[in-house]
Chains A and B, each alone.
Chain A
Amino acid sequence: MALIDNNGSHELLGADASGQLVIHAPTTAPLRQPPRKSRWPARLDMLQSASGLFLALFLMAHMFFVSSILISHDAFYTVARFFEGAYFLGKPYPILVSGVVSIILAVFIGHAWLAMRKFPAGYRQYRAFVTHKNSLRHGDTSLWWLQIWTGFALFFMATIHLYDMLTQPALIGPYESADRVWTGNMWPLYLMLLFAAELHASVGLYRLAIKWGWFTAATPNRSRRRLRWAKHGISAFFITLGLVTLAAYVDLGRAHAERAGERYVPTYLNAPHTAGKH
């Protein structure tokens, strides 16, 4: 029985019914092998996650380093010199900080580029998503909107901060940083940056765990509850730590405003023989 092509009915019915396309029996091997699908989507997806994870971990570590000011001025001074290699190389090399910053900047730009692929492309998609989000009233969907906006903000704010650190790596120290925060009028930026970065990072980490199925519990809903709790915890902890730290710098900056520009000398170097300098 010769098969008659079904195209006639296809044209007649147009979009009125589905499944008009004749597809070939799957049990027989495909006649021509289509070109293999690119592996890049998988790699880019992993890179996006990996770069995000790296940046989030860096951010946490960074927050701990910066908050060492809460222990003492010397503690922060020590941390700063440590990153300049002072304890391995005999003397500080601020260029090392610039090096680290360049790497962070590169990862940061890479991450932004990878993530931007997921942003709404054009106004139509933007509207579609906003309408959807508003109608659905769904936590995880709204969180992604937060992610977009904090990411967008970070693109500007974090870039400024990173550029600062890239070009002035030597000016990291209790007085130097505090002067930058207060006298240099950077505190509003740091305040916003703090919120944007910590929220973006904690939501990002939460999303990573969901996306790749890490830390699963007995049921998906239970694991999500747990992860959400962890996310809130991380946000709260780091934002609190950040605010207290920033307050410490503001405090120090205000107190040091009159002598702004003065380099910090740690107390263990500030021993009796240097006392007369003032």
Chain B
Amino acid sequence: MISILRRKNDTQPTRRLCIQVLRHNPADAASVPHLQAFEIAEAEGMTLFIALNEIRATQDPSLQFDFVCRAGICGSCAMLIDGRPGLACRTLTRDLGTTITLAPLPFFELIGDLSVNTGKWMRGTSERLQTWIHSSAQTDLDALEAPMEPELAEAIYELDRCIECGCCIAGCGTAQMREKFVGAVGLNKIARFRLDPRDDRSNDDFYELIGDDDGVFGCMSLLGCHDVCPKQLPLQTQIAYLRRKMAVIGLA
């Protein structure tokens, strides 16, 4: 049990990494999108969070990127890592080649370099899909809480784990073509509130929110969302389930 830290690289020489960053500063009229390469020495256990901060501290202080929790739970640092959406903070460089290409998430408004405005889009989606508990019941805070089956609570949490990182949108072929598509993040939220008995809304109400080609019927089941989701949410089954429920409304 003693040497349980993985030490794959102990005997190997330190790698030189070439990190290519797609750079663009929309605030600067003279800026054109271009790839800029940075060379750094790889360190043990190095994540892209560590690598990018080292580049900013030692090579280019103007480099823009977003990290908050740096532990894979807040969803700030989603970017295209060698073309695929992922959370940079928990991506270890040892799992990548010596040349690593980083680009901002597509689809979202670019703030600069690797920083995109996912928050603005997510808030808009929340407002559009009304992602909150709709209840007419008055809660008495001094009374015993209403019971809930333990399995149901866990099932709700399973869907509540979404961190709004935007990877599913960046991994979605439909969203690339159709900007108004709610994407897996939106559909998963509807599935989450639909499951929640504290929410009074009916399938008819949910149909009003997602019953069109910008909603659940726009999904072409390409499953990019499911495969890139850093939280491994069951998007594939949840969207299929919603589609069936919403289709039934269409028949009524």
CA distance A21 to B226 in the complex (A): 31
- State which of B119, B124, B173, B243 has its C-beta within 8 Å of the C-beta of A141: B173
Do the beta carbons of B120 and A43 come within 8 Å of each other? Answer: no
Which of A51-59, A76-84, A126-134, A241-249 is the interface stretch? A126-134
Q: Which residues of B contact A138 (CB under 8 A)?
A: 84, 171, 222-224, 227
**Could you say which of A36, A117, A128, A131 has the most chain B C-beta atoms within 10 Å of its C-beta?**
A128
* Docked pose: A118 CA to B220 CA in angstroms: 8
Q: How many residues of B contact A (CB 8 A)?
A: 51
Instruction: Say yes or no: A37-B240 contact (C-beta < 8 A), given A129-B177, A132-B176.
Output: no
Output the least CB separation between B35 and chain A (Å).
14
How far in angstroms is the closest Cβ of chain A from B165?
16
The answer to the question of B246 belonging to the interface, with a C-beta cut-off of 8 Å to chain A, is yes
Contacts of B252 in A (CB 8 A): 39
Contact B80 A135 (CB under 8 A): yes
**Is the pair B221, A42 in contact by a Cβ cutoff of 8 Å?**
no
Known: A26-B132, A27-B136. A45 touches B173 (CB 8 A): no
Interface segment out of the listed A154-162, A192-200, A208-216: A208-216
Question: Which residues of chain B are within 8 angstroms of A216 by Cβ–Cβ distance?
Answer: 237
Contact A224:B236 (CB < 8 A) given known A15-B109, A37-B211: yes
What 0/1 readout, one digit per residue, does chain B (218-252) give for beta carbons within 8 Å of chain A? 01111110110000001011001101101101111
Cross-chain contact of A42 among B177, B219, B246 (Cβ < 8 A): B246
Q: Is the CB of A220 within 8 A of B234?
A: yes
Q: Is B67's CB within 8 Å of the partner chain A? A: no
Interface residues of chain B, those whose CB is within 8 Å of chain A, are: 80, 83-84, 106, 109, 117, 119-124, 127, 130, 132, 134-136, 171, 173, 176-178, 207-208, 211-213, 215, 217, 219-224, 226-227, 234, 236-237, 240-241, 243-244, 246-247, 249-252
What 7 A-B pairs have minimum CB-CB distances, sorted nearest first?
Answer: A42-B250, A213-B240, A18-B120, A135-B83, A125-B177, A45-B217, A18-B123
Q: List 28 A-B contacts (CB under 8 A).
A: A15-B109, A15-B120, A17-B120, A18-B121, A18-B124, A27-B134, A34-B208, A37-B207, A39-B249, A41-B215, A41-B250, A42-B246, A42-B251, A43-B250, A45-B243, A45-B247, A121-B177, A129-B176, A132-B173, A135-B83, A138-B84, A138-B222, A211-B219, A212-B244, A220-B234, A220-B236, A220-B237, A223-B237
